[in-house]
Structure 1
Amino acid sequence: MIERHSKLLDILLQASSAKITELPDADLGRAETEPFPFLAIVGQVEMKLALMLSLINPEVGGVLLIGPRGTAKTTAVRSLTDLLPTVKNSLCVHGCTEEMIEQLGMDGVCMDCATKFGHGEPLTAVDKVRIFELPLNARLEDVVGGINERVALEQNRVRLERGLLGHADRHILYIDEVNLLDDAITDAILDAAAQGHYTVRRGPLKMTYNARLMLIGSMNPEE
């Protein structure tokens, strides 16, 4: 039997696009989920307007979304990802930035960042504004920060590290079911958001972190 060859088929098989079919399937369990488009949310005009105004003017102070389940509260907040601008994020675990050096001098940052700044190395990097979600089972230490237990055990030294509030500086902190949150954690978050910073004290150690964040909460009045 005569085997026929197609020049067109040979060209397609040699093309780089044919190699795509040979790639293994991606692990969908590790793939990042795409947020629901904000503009595709039907209705909820007041909720969408409040979220948009808080993005335009952070001085609004935050947004509290109240409604029963299924009213797209969490979906609307997560869909803000595509609308968020860029911001400078600190590369230091203590949140040190060049602005702190301009305002407070070298004493305003940690020793490592002071050394990096002296060598001309950047202390911040441009990144997109992110949404940090606070789980209901979070401890106060997880929110404000505290002693790094792993460093204390392995290196026999005490080091303070910022918590979720410090990481959310210049970002968005979202709290679902905020009415079920522990009172001590609620007070700490509100105080830090109102002042724009907070201080952690553990014995003789003290560290102040910026918390210039946009606060969004949601709750179900039936719970």
Structure 2
Amino acid sequence: MSLDNFEEHNPGKSETPHVNNTNIRSLKELIDIASGKNISHYDFQHDSGIAEPLFYPFLGIVGQYEMKLALILTIINPNIGGVLLIGPRGTAKTTSVKGLVDILPFVESSSCQFGCLPEHIDVNGIDGVCPECAQKYAENISISEFSKVKIIELPLNTDLESVTGSIDEIYHKNNKMHLKRGILSLADKNILYIDEVNLLSNETINSILDAAAMGKYTVRSASLSSTFRSRFTLIGSMNPEEGNLRPQIMDRFGLRVVTRGLDNDADRLEAYFRVSHYLSNPYEFIQIYRDENNIARQEIENARKFVWKVKIDSKIAKYGIELIKDLNIHSLRAELTLFEAAKALAASENRDQITIEDIKSIAPMALRLRRSTYINNFIENNEAENEEINSVLDKILE
């Protein structure tokens, strides 16, 4: 059952006050308005009587502003490189990711089991799609459809074949050979969410990172081979108490958000009331944020179309690069994440130029946890050794 049918199953409920889209100047402002929304006058004493699971609304989360902003920005601009949420249990990491479902935009997705899209024909010709899709294309039948971006969750105990794909046993029993799409292929143009990413096996995480970097991957099994697209937005979450993330994996995540519990007593009490109301009647609670969700989805779709127009002035780019150099950050992914996230922030406010304030807002999320004491010491020791070698050479040649 969809939320659109809510009123049929809950007659007589009071109307939810509408939010005027014209009064919202940016997604940042919308986050503040939704987070501070007063829900005390709603009556949640009744039970919805429906067992269908519904996710807690993203905009209804109290506090955690940086986390919400980071997730929205990475949806607007996938070039950011995804988001890593780090923090203790109970700080809304998983809740925030799953709650994104109500504000995700629409994208063109494949209706084929092999993931064929019209763009594959544009790039590789008719041989770029499977025979069935080639036939449909010749008959002017669509091989794709527009649907909302999906959140594809990777289970912690997933084996490598499920991640990349394998021989389809149903076809194999009928003496036919066919490669089944894996989770990475299903995540193409969607969000791939990995909870407890620090606990994944090395083999699995390496496959995911390689596929994310290339935007595609090839599966070979027996005499079969197939290449699948894997252009997904990667979101991971972890509790540092349960183990660290390898540096080469950490570097692949664009934005890094450190979550913590709410400090303000009033915020903690408000969070309790909201969760209590949600558990009592999730359908009605989600309805409270219906207008904000619709506005956020439209604003995100507009920003995704506009972000490629955003430019960065050379003076502001120099400011960002100097900041990165002064922090002794060596990875060039720092610039990529900082500037692409700043683009997304500007696009979310319908601006075609990045400002210094954008860089200031993004810098903590983009640059934290990128410095390495070991690498700095290694480079210093190497420079000292080079100087010693040159000194000895000069002495010999005197």
Deviation at 1:157, TM superposition (A): 1.2
**Residue among 143, 166, 177 paired with 2:185:** 166
**Structure 2 partner of 1:197:** 216
Deviation at 1:27, TM superposition (A): 8.6
Task: Write the letter of the residue equivalent to 1:99.
Answer: E
**Structure 2 partner of 1:97:** 117
Query: For residues 97 and 207 of structure 1, what CA distance do their matches in structure 2 show?
Result: 15
Query: For residues 56 and 151 of structure 1, what CA distance do their matches in structure 2 show?
Result: 39
**Structure 2 partner of 1:6:** none
Deviation at 1:158, TM superposition (A): 0.9
Instruction: Report 1:65-214 matches (<5 A).
Output: 65-153=85-173, 155-214=174-233
Query: For residues 234 and 49 of structure 2, what CA distance do their matches in structure 1 show?
Result: 34
Is 1:57 paired with 2:69?
A: no
**Structure 2 partner of 1:3:** none
Task: Write the letter of the residue equivalent to 1:85.
Answer: P
Q: Deviations over 1:14-35 (max 9, x none)?
A: xxx9xx9xxxxx9944x2x222
Deviation beyond 6 Å, 4+ runs, structure 1: none
Deviation at 1:121, TM superposition (A): 1.0
Deviation at 1:184, TM superposition (A): 0.6
Task: Write the letter of the residue equivalent to 1:48.
Answer: K
Query: For residues 27 and 210 of structure 1, what CA distance do their matches in structure 2 show?
Result: 41
Residues 156 and 69 (structure 1 numbering): CA distance in 2 closer, same or farther, change over 3 Å?
same
Task: Write the letter of the residue equivalent to 2:224.
Answer: L
Deviation at 1:66, TM superposition (A): 0.6
Query: For residues 209 and 239 of structure 2, what CA distance do their matches in structure 1 show?
Result: 20
Q: Which SS does the other structure have where 1:103 is aligned?
A: helix
Query: For residues 27 and 217 of structure 1, what CA distance do their matches in structure 2 show?
Result: 33
Query: For residues 141 and 59 of structure 2, what CA distance do their matches in structure 1 show?
Result: 40
Segment drifting more, 191-200 vs 40-49: 40-49
Query: For residues 114 and 49 of structure 2, what CA distance do their matches in structure 1 show?
Result: 34
Q: Which SS does the other structure have where 1:222 is aligned?
A: helix
Higher normalized helix content (fraction of residues): 2
Deviation at 1:213, TM superposition (A): 0.3
Instruction: Report 1:26-65 matches (<5 A).
Output: 28-29=50-51, 31=52, 33-65=53-85
Query: For residues 113 and 97 of structure 1, what CA distance do their matches in structure 2 show?
Result: 9
Query: For residues 156 and 49 of structure 2, what CA distance do their matches in structure 1 show?
Result: 29
Deviation at 1:204, TM superposition (A): 2.2
Task: Write the letter of the residue equivalent to 1:203.
Answer: A
Alignment TM-score, normalising by the size of structure 2 = 0.48
Segment drifting more, 108-117 vs 36-45: 36-45
Q: Which SS does the other structure have where 1:74 is aligned?
A: helix
Query: For residues 42 and 28 of structure 1, what CA distance do their matches in structure 2 show?
Result: 25
Residues 101 and 27 (structure 1 numbering): CA distance in 2 closer, same or farther, change over 3 Å?
farther
Q: Deviations over 1:22-67 (max 9, x none)?
A: xxxx9944x2x22212222111122112111111111000111011
What's the % identity of the aligned pairs?
Answer: 54
Task: Write the letter of the residue equivalent to 2:151.
Answer: I
Query: For residues 150 and 182 of structure 1, what CA distance do their matches in structure 2 show?
Result: 28
Q: Deviations over 1:79-131 (max 9, x none)?
A: 11121100111111111111111111111111111111111111001111110
Query: For residues 200 and 206 of structure 1, what CA distance do their matches in structure 2 show?
Result: 5
Query: For residues 222 and 159 of structure 1, what CA distance do their matches in structure 2 show?
Result: 42
Query: For residues 187 and 166 of structure 2, what CA distance do their matches in structure 1 show?
Result: 16
**Structure 1 partner of 2:247:** none
Query: For residues 90 and 78 of structure 1, what CA distance do their matches in structure 2 show?
Result: 23
Q: What are structure 1's unaligned runs of at least 5 residues?
A: 1-16, 21-25
Query: For residues 173 and 27 of structure 1, what CA distance do their matches in structure 2 show?
Result: 32
Q: What are structure 2's unaligned runs of at least 5 residues?
A: 1-7, 12-47, 243-398
